[in-house]
Amino acid sequence: MADSQQTDSSRNDDAQELRKEPPWIVRWFWVGVKLLSRRIDHEDVVEHVREEGQLSGRYLFMIVMSCAIATLGLLLSSPAVIIGAMLISPLMGPIMLMGFSLSTLDLVALRRSVFSMACGVLGALAISILIVKLSPLTDPTPEILARTRPNFFDLLVAVFSGLAGGYAVINRKGETIVGVAIATALMPPLAVTGYGLAVAEPAVAGGAFFLFMTNLLAIALTVTLMSRLYGFGKGHGRSTTVWQSVLILLVFAGLSAPLGLALRDIAYETTVNNVVKANVLTPFQGKRARAGDVFVSFPRDAPINVEVTVLTRERVPGAEAQLQDVLSRKLSGNVQVAMDQVLVNEDRDVERAQMIKLAESSLTAPLRAEVNELKVIAERQRTEAEVRNAAAFPLAAADIDAQAQTAHFFGAQSPDFPVSAWRVSEEGLGRNFPAWQMTVTPPVVEMPLIPFAEGADDLDAGALKIINDCQWALERWNVEAVEVVGYASTAGAVQRFNNQALAYRRAEAVASILRENGIAATPVGEYRAFNQDQEERVLGRQRFQSVLIRPSSP
């Protein structure tokens, strides 16, 4: 009997233990969720999301136009053009509908959102492939290559965009701006996918499409979590919420694994490149040498390959093996090094003295003439080396002729060198070598904007200097015809035609100067009353109080 009473008492204690309240942080969390959901008109939000996410002619047209602009921006490697494509992308609607339908378990809305997204993707891919096929520019630009190797940071961008998008839609505030962030995560990878298909590069297309799908799923599932937090789909019970959360976490974990590995590989390659560049001159300590081209490749299941060119005054035997040993120890792995030692400014004084001594002892005129010729050649080589070393800017190639005293330098791409810096470099070389004809051809880059005061169409001294720099660059590029595009901001606008005329007058003011200097210039006034205020908030108002010079297509 006593044992039975003890058993009942134990059971009562267990029951009381099960009835204990959850921890305080859990209770406060659910209280916060209820408070958030009370402030939201759930039916109005769901109706708005359904309306924005449905397939329509406007949606298809805008997504095709957005992808077309993004593709052109990628081919031109112009971030400004790519940002412009983001401003008109309508991808936010179907993604929001997809996220909310997953939250409310509305399968009809889910099918509708998937269908809208599929139609938009097919239209975007079609226009991207068509533009690349018709374009003479098909080389992969840095903007294209940046979207072919997705990593974990790209997933974080998509997650934060999804959080911002869900919050903006639920609270009905700032949806347009947040839509730009979502389009930034989706439209460029989609355009790069079309580029990869057009140029028959499966690796490029596959990597970009994987990035697109990763961002799409991450944004949609993040919106699902956000909507559940605000009480959407609460009629399905807490168990459904738990299963949805577990499923979403599993999807995020599955996406994070390959992206994390890709990020690790990128970090490893960056570390290896830094180690190689820091140690490439180790075998040449105490020697006058400098590194030339350094190329590092990472073949699968093979040693790291390092190809390096060293410019040195004195050849160092065994330098290749020594560098290979140093890199293998520092990188804790197998490294294969291929080194080319290029002799520059060789010291031929001893050899020349011996030749002169031999010539004078034999008194043979032919030998003396040969020695003199060697002396002239050596002096010419030294002068050419001095001229080359005087070029303190990124150099792609150089054509130096000491006999004719001419030097033509071809600059390499560098974000630190605007057009004005290249012109200053040419003028500096001319002052340092007054007897020489110095020419610097800068790399082809976008021209700097020529600023105007607000509401003005006259040129000040700063603007005239920029025009002179642009004219100098056009002459170096052998450009004979340009298009001069004038802009006008919305500040102080009375009506569209006033700003259109102001933009044209600004373009004509610059074009007239170019025409006086022999360059065919066509002025164009550009003012878009529709949505320009949004672009000004993104790019800055000063961007639309300026003039841009760009070469005309042949």
Instruction: Give a three-class secondary structure readout of 143-155.
Output: HHHCCCCCCHHHH
Which residue do the tokens 């730009």 mark?
A: 180
pLDDT of 295: 77
- pLDDT grade, residue 18 (50/70/90)? very low
* Torsion sign, CA atoms 306, 309, 312, 314: positive
Cα separations (Å) of 313 from 161, 290, 388, 417? 55, 10, 15, 30
Task: Count Cβ atoms below 10 Å from residue 17 Cβ, excluding itself.
Answer: 8
Q: Which helix (H) or strand (E) holds 224?
A: helix 202-229
Average pLDDT over residues 486-511: 76
Q: Which of 189-198, 207-216, 301-310, 525-534 has the highest mean pLDDT?
A: 189-198
Is the Cβ–Cβ distance between 216 and 97 less than 8 Å? no
C-alpha span between 444 and 419 (Å, rounded): 9
DSSP secondary structure string for all residues of 241-302:
HHHHHHHHHHHHHHHHHHHHHHHHHHHHHHHHHHHHHHHTTGGGTTS-EEEEEEEEE--TTS
The whole-number pLDDT of residue 71 equals 92
120 C-beta neighbours (distance < 10 Å), count: 25
The H helix count followed by the E strand count for the chain is 19, 10
| Beta-strand relationship, 437-441 and 406-411 | parallel
In what helix (H) or strand (E) does residue 336 lie, and over which residues does it extend?
strand 335-343
DSSP label at 303?
P
Say if strands 335-343 and 304-312 run parallel, antiparallel, or are unpaired.
parallel
* pLDDT tens per residue across span 460-474: 888 889 889 898 888
pLDDT tens track for 369-408:
555 665 666 676 777 777 777 777 777 777 888 778 888 8
pLDDT at 121: 92
Which of 276, 292, 264 lies closest to 395 in space, CA to CA?
292
Closest CA to 85 of 95, 75, 98: 75
β-partners of residue 312 are 289, 343
Asked if 102 contacts 111 with a C-beta cutoff of 8 angstroms, the reply is no
* 195/125 Cα distance (integer angstroms): 8
pLDDT in tens, 354-365: 555 554 554 455
Per the structure block, which two tokens stand in for 14? 């267990």
Q: Which of 12-21, 103-112, 129-138 has the lowest mean pLDDT?
A: 12-21
The pLDDT value given to residue 365: 52
- Degrees to nearest 5, angle at CA 101 with 97 and 102: 120
- Six token digits for residue 273: 């490149």
Q: Where residue 258 falls among pLDDT bands split at 50, 70, 90?
A: low
% residues pLDDT > 90 (the chain): 8
Residue 186, class by beta-carbon neighbours within 10 Å (0-12 exposed, 13-18 middle, 19+ buried)?
A: buried
Using CA atoms, how far apart are residues 379 and 387, in angstroms rounded to an integer? 12
Whether the predicted pLDDT of 60 surpasses 60: yes
**Mean per-residue pLDDT, 165-181:** 73
Element (H, E) at 482: strand 481-487
Euclidean distance between CA atoms 493 and 512, whole angstroms: 26
DSSP state of 140: P
Would you state the pLDDT for residue 262? 64
Instruction: Please state which of the ranges 136-150, 180-194, 241-255, 431-445 shows the lowest mean pLDDT.
Output: 241-255
**pLDDT score at 65:** 93
Written as six digits, the tokens of 553 are: 């297509």
Confidence of residue 492 (pLDDT cuts 50, 70, 90): low
Does 215 have pLDDT greater than 70? yes
Cβ pair 97, 109 in contact under 8 A: yes
Is 351's pLDDT higher than 60? no
